[in-house]
Chain A
Amino acid sequence: MNLSMIIYILGCLMEVEAGLMLLPAIVGWGYGEKSALAFLIVAAVEALIGFLIILKKPKDTSFYAKEGFVTTAFSWIILSAVGAIPFSVTGQIPSYVDAFFETVSGFTTTGASILVNVEVLDKCMLFWRSFSHWIGGMGVLVFMMAILPLAGAGGQKLYLMRAESPGPSVDKLSPKIQDTAIWLYGIYLALTVLCFILLLAGGMDWFTSICMSFGAAGTGGFSVLASGYASYSYYSKVVATVFMMLFGVNFNFYYLVITKRIKDALKMEEVRWYAAVYFFAVITILINLWHVGMLGHDALGIDAFFSVASVMTTTGYATADFNLWPTYSRIILVIIMFSGACAGSTGGGIKISRMIILIKSVNKELRRMIQPRAVRHVRLDNKKVEHATAMNTLAYLAVFVLIYVISLLIVATDGFDTTTTFTAIAATFNNIGPGLGMVGPVGNYSEFSVLSKLVLSFDMLAGRLEIYPLLFLIMPSTWRRA
């Protein structure tokens, strides 16, 4: 384990976070808020510490998969721990654990909140919450790679990107990783700006438009009103629905479209399944709502379109309290919480491509049982899925269930009802935000004990980083000397 290199990269990360904190400071200054000073002070201290770290470049720049995972895990923990300080020192969120939960929820693009009423927060605090979604959506290390020529020959960057980016197999878009990172952030920024302009054009004020665009882009879900997204215009809801879905698409899709390979883009199996699952969920929910007579006040069913998009892309904005919907609709929502969005998008969950590989692997294994000599492969996008990738996906599911069960046991000690406990973990582990019951769209996470909040914070980080980085951090074998 090359600790000096890990610490060096963490130093770079601190410089980046300090730089990013200047934005909320500027916003706060614009609104004449005193709390903006907190951002400036925290940024200055962080920049100084980071500077002292990067002053000395490590001699040994060796960096392998292990270092990549550990660096990623530490990066996100530091990011959240420091990002929480302005909330607690200004007293806007008095408890540091609550502030930490809120910040983790921001960076992991979960959108789960411990705040009963968000409207009491200063504008700069609201901005920082939403901005953290945007940073966390595409990943802060990817951002770092896009703007900084990191030290070393380059292998290390791939390990960092693999550890931070979601999906069963992470590929570069172009030969150089810095170009790949620039491409990803370019697409991300362009879509975000487009979303912002369209929201602004619909009559939303600029502050709300920016925060809501950040939330949709990172598929986060923090809003600036206690009522979430319910009070905005019909037009804004349509725009938000479309953009949430767009940000849940694998970014390779956009790369293919931009490089004029639209045919290949449309053939992407994952994107097709993503669309199919979405429309299946929306249509059956609409039928279900119509059947029980709940469609009356929402003739065009925008709530169904919006809620399914919001839950499936793991954003977590709410226009309606789907907690009150009939059982079938609620179960569908819980199921798509787990399926999540595409790999290589800003969304969370288990990811559609993993689901496809799982289902196809199961199919292959079943057919092998009745026809043992047949040789078959799992194929995705008409390419063979390596056995190692399929096994890794199965292992991922197993670890996912394991962590889920352990979290469930701990959080259950708080004594809330089964739906609340179960969906609280589903909504944080899959980076959605609102669950059902007490943590439904109109509820929040403030009632949980400190221990549960820390467990849920861990789940959010594990969900965003796809478990392994955090797991390797606590596995003794990572820290063994040989």
Chain B
Amino acid sequence: MFAKKMVALLLVVLMAVSCLSVSYAEDAGKGYMSTYDVASAGDVTLDVMITSLGDSDGGPYLRGVMDEYMKMYPNVKLNPVECSMNNLYTTLITRATSNTLPDIFTMTEAYHANCYEMGMAVDNLDELLGAEYVSKLLPISIENATINGTLVYMPWQNNTTAVVYRKDLFEANNIEIPKTWDEYINVAKQLTVDTDGDGRVDQFGAVVSGTRNDSAESRFHTFALTFGMNFLNVNEDGSFSSGFDTPAFKDAMATYVELGTGETAPAGFVETGYAEAYKMIAAGTACMYWSASNVLGGIYTSNPEMEGKMGSFMLPTAEGVDPITSFSSVGMTIAKTCAHPEVAADFLKFMTSVEVSVNWNKATRRLPVVTDAINAIVAADETYSGFAAAGETAVIYPAFAGTAELRDTVAECWQKIAAEGVGLDDAVQAAVERAADIVESYQ
């Protein structure tokens, strides 16, 4: 009798284990951490508004990923909704006010505080994704996307800033990777040459963005860190104070303008935005530029011959400042109005699986935040080693609603110096005063 009971118990245990194994095997077969039975969820339609859908490189790939998911789950229909990054915030606010938010939409660290305040997204995203999945993402990316303990969005694109450079030219000229900005300027001078001997410089050492938009301004924000300057200081009582009134800001501004308008930079500093800069690198007109890894995609798309010639290194720093860079991310979140948040979360996990993330990198050169995927990408392509190293030193900015205005202050400052001939001291003083007013107005 006892033996029979033991056998029966053993059979039950074996069956349970085999069922679990089958379930795990299915998940492993899908290639991502699926924890929800999507196939049994009935007919599901989700509007997916991801800004990359409109990109020439990432768009087709992303649509392919969506098709693959729908093939896996025929009961799910994913509707791609295009929206450019430039129009994202106006679209979101318009849709939020009319209660027509897409089920899944792009979210950034620049807007997630607004998203949180407006209650646009689900407040249990971490639960929907699952602790195990979240543990596979870079901790800094989770910290960056979290406000008051709520994961506002699922980080996806890793925007760690590093310098991309012409590795082939460095090697040909036996140039060492610069560790300080003084060394960087010297390297830039070495690489500023007249290559065709017509009496005009046609290859510049470095290019710097001087446009008055968030792309250039956020680059300065990171650059300032390497001078030991924080735009904002968080006081003990939780209030903020401006970090502009420091010698570090003045030094950073002086160096930035020198890099942008000096002899090592191509003409047109204040007209040079991100697109102009990477096209100069692609054309061989410039040799160094700091950015997130996606700049490599722009360079290779503009000039495929650059593939294999590029490298990356950590941002140099001012004397006495430890290596540092900024981390930011773009990701997706699920609308509070979404009728099937579990399915939406499952799709997000699918599109950020290790395999999909690695292929996404091949299509766009963007680095993901999935740790295993980053390791695989860096192991396969040395070009990203500088970004990986920079990631070790990355910090995130404090969530502050006036960040965009503070950034505009620095662009106004360098444009006054470069375009209006205002002296450094006067321009910096005006920036210091404006920054103090902005910080005060947001207290």
A binds B: no
Spell out B's residues near A (CB within 8 Å).
Answer: none
Spell out A's residues near B (CB within 8 Å).
Answer: none
